[in-house]
Amino acid sequence: MSEECATTPRALWLLLIAGPAIAAAEQQANFVLVRQACSMHRNIALYAVVVVAILLTIATAMIGVSIWRRTGTDWPTEAGDLANRIRFISVLGILSSAMSFLVIVAQGIATVNFDPCQL
């Protein structure tokens, strides 16, 4: 991804919402797969969904870190320049991915601890 493409408003906003979208997709995929896992008595598909979601969330955070480092590693201030805005949204994207990571890990812990046939 080129620097101009990574810092367009659309790409930056996608970075901000990617983490929560991944967490929502992981939860929805597990809801869909839980009946199949119960009938087959195998949780592999549920575990795979959690692992893929964790990896995607980490990748999203790393993209945010990469953009933040390219625009300077200073913490965003109240200045109105373009680089400061890009740093601000990239830091929000990193924090959004971190919170989504915690949600996915919590759901993953529940997936490991509970049998899919439990109600």
Run of H or E including 24: helix 9-40
Q: Which domain holds residue 55?
A: 9-113
Tell me how far apart the alpha carbons of residues 87 and 102 are, in angstroms, rounded to a whole number. Answer: 23
Number of domains in the chain: 1
Q: Does any domain span residue 81?
A: yes
pLDDT by residue for the chain (119 residues), tens only, comes to: 445 555 677 888 888 999 999 999 999 999 999 999 989 988 999 999 999 999 999 999 999 998 888 887 777 677 777 778 888 888 999 999 999 999 999 999 999 999 888 85
Q: Does any domain span residue 1?
A: no
